[in-house]
Amino acid sequence: MASSSTSVVVSNKEKENKNTKKVTLKSSDGESFEVDESVAMESQTIKHIIEDGCANNEIPLPNVTSGILSRVIEYCKKHKEAAGESEPSVTSYTSNSTTNPLTEWDTEFVKVDQNTLFDLILAANYLDIKGLLDLTCKTVADMMKGKTPQEIRETFHIKNDYTPEEEAEVRKENQWAFE
Amino acid sequence: MDFWEDDNSDEMDIDNDLMDDCEEDSFSESEQESNVKRFQKLNIDDDFHVEYAPQRNTTAYGSSRCLEHIKSKEKMGIGDLVKDHALPFLPAKSICRFRSVSKEWNKWITNPFLAHKQSHCFQDISGFFCQIAGEHSFISCDPHSCGVPDPSFSFLPEPVILRTTCNGLICCQSCIEDNAYYICNPVNRQWKVLPGPNYYHGPGSAVALAFEPSALKFEANYQLVCAIRLADHLLCFEIYSSRSKSWRLVDALCCELGALSGDGFYMKGMVYWETLSGSVLAFDLTYEQFGIFPLPPECGPEGVLTKRHGELCYILPHKKDNEFAIRIYGDFKMVLKHSFPLELDDFGYTSGGLRALSCLNDDVLAILFGNRMITYHVKAQKVKTLGTVRPDGFVTCHPYVNSLVPVDHPLVSRQQANSRPCTSSSL
């Protein structure tokens, strides 16, 4: 005869909503992405903004285009899932990490053209996502390792500020590395 | 904006997790922080920033601060990011070549903090040091990106034999006088001679170098673990620690094993030596205790203990009729896990057979096929020749990581090194 069961149902629903708190990210070209707050907090930058109470309706990310932002969100989602409910995932790229179950997924993720890869690096730095920064930088490192210094300058738009004599001196000191 | 005020606590938390697996001894948080801070301060110019971390001001962090924070990150272009975050993943030879990219790159590359970071980020086997009859050579896995300036070790003050390697550090031993041990890195030509041990390391002894590059510990802390034969079936362990700069005898005594077949292999806090009778002597550096487990009955000098998929395994070439295969044994019982056929038809007949050298990354094995060193991709079944060794005898081949890891400058000259009393072993 007691009819106190309804209150239990309501509080469960409230709990559900709390667990899937969302946040909206806005790309430089005006597109909005709604993501779980926990996924967005894979980015330390966004985490600080949210924790310090600066996130109102949307978080503007004027340095990230929608194309790149959607990829970044994909990465964060995948890695957040893999890490479960624990702290933001920590993926180490410092060893032969086939103990990392996401290695194959990550390898496919970075099979993109060079410009996209560079944009991902810039975004990972801007958004402070260590795992993504390490992954993309390791990929770039593989691409760099056989190059000449001139090729490096051209690829990354670095100005050569050596005089010809200075450059010859450095080269002579490290002649073995050029052979 | 002063970057150095930040304590990089996010970076540190992450690295602490890595530390648990790496370090055999613990240290306080403040020591960690001061190590990192101390060496970040080595370069004090404003245009030089090593790690990028947000400024943590725990008091009111208004929205104007948020924008400031976001704006400051815009300064970094792809060139800067690649310099700071991609270089540490490269082998030493490539990094040294990139010194001539620009002055800023040169400044960062010659900073000890980069050497420390690279020794931790880059741990791939880059090639093999080969020696026979006092002659040394280096065979690279990728000659354009991996190499050393002087593979003959002529930067050391006397002729040496190479005993063992670990993560970029090499342990050599002098051929003359009191057979002093040297620890060196042939990339930067830094070396250190160890003081003489307290016990006699006679011909029946074997060494293993334990060095785990750490994200936080700035100095390369390593241990040279020596299994010394005291009598026929009696082994004791004397360990040199680079932290204490001294030798120490461990309590454990092993009286169950016969002769060891060579120098040991280090992995994840443990050191492993093969014995001539087909077992493995495993020494735990944390608990300073040993254990023994058997190798598969078919084991032999052509097999090798190595790391694959983060675990210890034993790789053994197998020949039946004219078919070659590579067998991989793993787990505690060293059971057969995989057998990959070796398609070597193009190479023709070879005398001298096959010898497994190492696992390079999880799908690539390095094998000596006669006097030809090859890599074999087990899934793609692709063979690549790295180089050849002298065919006129047994060539030892040690895997080497092209790391920039710094070694102490020689603090102890040969004359000042403690002379070693001859004790025990006359049993």
pLDDT, tens digit only, all 427 positions of chain B? 443 444 444 444 444 444 444 443 444 445 445 545 554 544 444 444 444 444 444 434 445 555 555 555 555 789 999 999 999 999 999 999 999 999 999 999 999 899 999 999 999 999 999 999 889 999 999 999 999 999 999 999 999 999 999 999 999 999 887 889 999 999 999 999 999 999 989 888 999 999 998 877 777 789 999 999 888 888 999 999 999 999 999 998 998 888 899 999 999 999 999 999 999 999 999 999 999 999 999 999 999 999 998 899 999 998 887 788 899 999 878 899 999 888 776 666 666 688 999 999 888 999 998 889 999 998 888 889 999 999 888 999 999 999 999 986 443 334 444 443 333 233 2
End-to-end CA distance of chain B: 69
- HEC string of chain A equals CCCCCHHHHHHHHHHHHHHCCEEEEECCCCCEEEEEHHHHCCCHHHHHHHHCCCCCCEEECCCCCHHHHHHHHHHHHHHHHHHCCCCCCCCCCCCCCCCCCCHHHHHHHCCCCHHHHHHHHHHHHHHCCHHHHHHHHHHHHHHHCCCCHHHHHHHHCCCCCCCHHHHHHHHHHCHHHHC
CB pairs under 8 A between A and B: 154
Helices A66-83, A114-127: inter-axial angle, 10-degree rounding: 60
- Closest CA of chain A from B71, distance in Å: 9
Q: From B394, B357, B349, B362, select the one nearest B373 (Cα to Cα).
A: B357
| A contact test, residue of B81, B109, B122 with most A CBs within 10 A | B81
Tokens encoding B128:
């093999």
Which chain A residue's Cα is nearest to B79? A156
DSSP-derived letter for residue B3 is G
B258-270 pLDDT, tens digit per residue, is 889 999 999 999 9
Sheet containing B354-361: which strands, arranged edge to edge?
Answer: B354-361, B364-369, B372-377, B382-388
> A68 pLDDT exceeds 90?
yes
Q: Which residues of B touch A93 (CB under 8 A)?
A: 89, 121
Interchain pair A170, B14: CB under 8 A: no
Q: What mean pLDDT is reported for chain B?
A: 81
pLDDT, position A122: 96
- Closest CA of chain A from B221, distance in Å: 18
Half-sphere exposure of B93 (CA within 13 A, CB side): 26
- Its ipTM equals 0.83
> A20 pLDDT exceeds 90?
no
Which chain A residue's Cα is nearest to B148? A176
How far lies B190's CA from each of A159, B57, B157, B417, in Å? 32, 42, 12, 18
How many CB atoms neighbour CB B342 within 10 A? 22
pLDDT, position B176: 85
Q: What is the pTM of this model?
A: 0.79
Chain A interface includes B186 (CB < 8 A): no
Interchain pair B121, A44: CB under 8 A: no
Helices A114-127, B63-74: inter-axial angle, 10-degree rounding: 150
Q: Which residues of B touch A99 (CB under 8 A)?
A: 309-310
Region A161-175 average pLDDT: 95
Q: Which residues of B touch A120 (CB under 8 A)?
A: none
For residues B132 and B144, give the distance between their C-alpha atoms in angstroms, rounded to a whole number. Answer: 25
- Closest CA of chain A from B404, distance in Å: 13
> A11 pLDDT exceeds 80?
no
For residues A122 and A127, give the distance between their C-alpha atoms in angstroms, rounded to a whole number. Answer: 8
Interchain pair B73, A125: CB under 8 A: yes
Which is more confident, A125 or B23? Answer: A125
Residue whose entry in the numeric block shows the structure tokens 């976001």: B70
In percent, the amount of chain A with pLDDT more than 70 equals 79
Interchain pair B85, A94: CB under 8 A: no
B360-402 pLDDT, tens digit per residue, is 988 899 999 888 999 999 888 888 999 999 988 899 999 999 9
| Of the partner residues A93, A121, A161, the one whose CB lies closest to the CB of residue B81 | A121
Find residues 100-119 of chain B whose CB sits inside 8 Å of chain A. Answer: 100-106
pLDDT, position B189: 93
Tokens encoding B386:
């790295």
The string of DSSP codes covering B32-64 is HHHHHHHHHTT---TT--SS-------S---HH
Over the Cα atoms of chain B, what is R_g? 23
> A53 pLDDT exceeds 60?
yes
Strand pairing partners for B372? B369, B388
pLDDT, position B344: 74
| Of the partner residues B76, B79, B93, the one whose CB lies closest to the CB of residue A177 | B93
- Type and span of the H or E element at B68: helix B63-74
Task: Grade residue A28 by pLDDT with cuts at 50, 70 and 90.
Answer: very high
Tokens encoding A90:
């920590």
pLDDT, position A128: 95
How far lies B54's CA from each of A118, B11, B88, B389, in Å? 21, 11, 21, 52
For residues B173 and B136, give the distance between their C-alpha atoms in angstroms, rounded to a whole number. Answer: 13
Region A88-117 average pLDDT: 73
pLDDT, position B76: 73
Which is more confident, A13 or B357? Answer: B357
Q: From B301, B306, B256, B299, select the one nearest B281 (Cα to Cα).
A: B256
| B contact test, residue of A133, A159, A174 with most B CBs within 10 A | A174
